[in-house]
Structure 1
Amino acid sequence: MRGLVWLAICAIALTVGGAGDAYAAAAEGDHGHHDLGHGNASAMLEDPSEFRTDLAVYTFVVFLLLLAILGKFAWPKISVALLEREKRIEANIAAAEAKHEESKRLLAAHEAKLASAAAEVRALLEEARRDAESTKDEIIAEARAGARAERDRAVREIELASDHALKNIAETSANLAIELAGTVIRESINPAKQQELVRSALSKLNASNN
């Protein structure tokens, strides 16, 4: 590519040089024929606005030649380079879009996992709450059942103790009554002796209850 650029520069330089040589030769020829009008000829040669057909044709031909050379040797390489650059840009855009889509997919999957984890945590918390409620109810039920059983046992023990005490009182009362009756039968007692026997029986009854 650089060689083609240098070739174009050299061609332009040759074109300018050739045009200058042709312009100088034409000036010398005109100088011989117009020696008497040297002032007018010099003014005409130095006028930059003068149009020279031969120089224009020469420049145009060289330009077309240079354009043909560049079109044959440089433009295919330039076209290939531009096409490759366009393909690289398209590939980069496609890769960026693919990465963007992959990022969106990964983000959606991550959000779905987070939502699933949150739902699982809520389910575990709800299950733990239900288990706690059930355990609390079971503990309360067991405590109430234990309290009822303890109360029933205490009532039974009290009833047994009461029955036993009443039985002892009855037995003691019967024994005292029998003993008192035997004493009354065996001996004749006066009222004072009778009171003493009653007090003695009551003392024995109290002692047996204690």
Structure 2
Amino acid sequence: MIRVLVADDEPMIRAGVAAILGADPGIEVVAEADDGRAAVEAATANRPDVVLLDIRMPRLDGLAALAELRRVLPDVAVIILTTFGEDDYIARALTDGASGFLLKAGDPRELITGVRAAAEGAAFLSPKVAKRVIEHLPAGRMSRGAKAREQVGQLTEREREVLALLGSGLSNADIAGRMHVVEGTVKAYVSAILGRLGLRNRVQAAVLAHEAGLVED
């Protein structure tokens, strides 16, 4: 059973998300919170597997709550709930250890998929959010797509395959099944990819996979 905390200051959004998740027999909403400070306190008390965190909340906004959760509960997966127009927040959360990003107005099926992926240690990016992140990040001297393809060119064919599957939101276990290898081999591939490309976490790797065109949106 995947234990989830839902944190959003809008009661209707919070209730809707909780209802969608509660309809899945493998997911249990163990707590709700209406601000960032309450989210941290509820997570500490209930020890959920996944926290769904609105990026804009009173008392402690989503980014500050994310940082606090990373400090006190480093193993909990945090998915950021966002809307269009919050690109600055998304870009910052990307580097602060978020496990994924979902649009509030997105497909309910993505909500279930995202929670399951995060609980299994995968990175999940709603395709629309991934596109927004990529468009918002600075282009620099070369287009980000060209830079990403150049970076990915350092990888072996097998590592590129792993990166593409990681960018699709698959867990290590799922990737192992697709590639017909043991999970430990996938973990070694992921560690090698992050190290070689200078990436901090799986979400940054997932963004790079999208930028390089390895993932079909």
Tell me the TM-score range normalised by the shorter chain: under 0.3
Structure 1 or 2: larger strand share? 2
Task: Give the TM-score taking structure 2 as reference length.
Answer: 0.16
User: RCO greater where, 1 or 2, for CA within 8 Å and sep 6 or more?
Assistant: 1
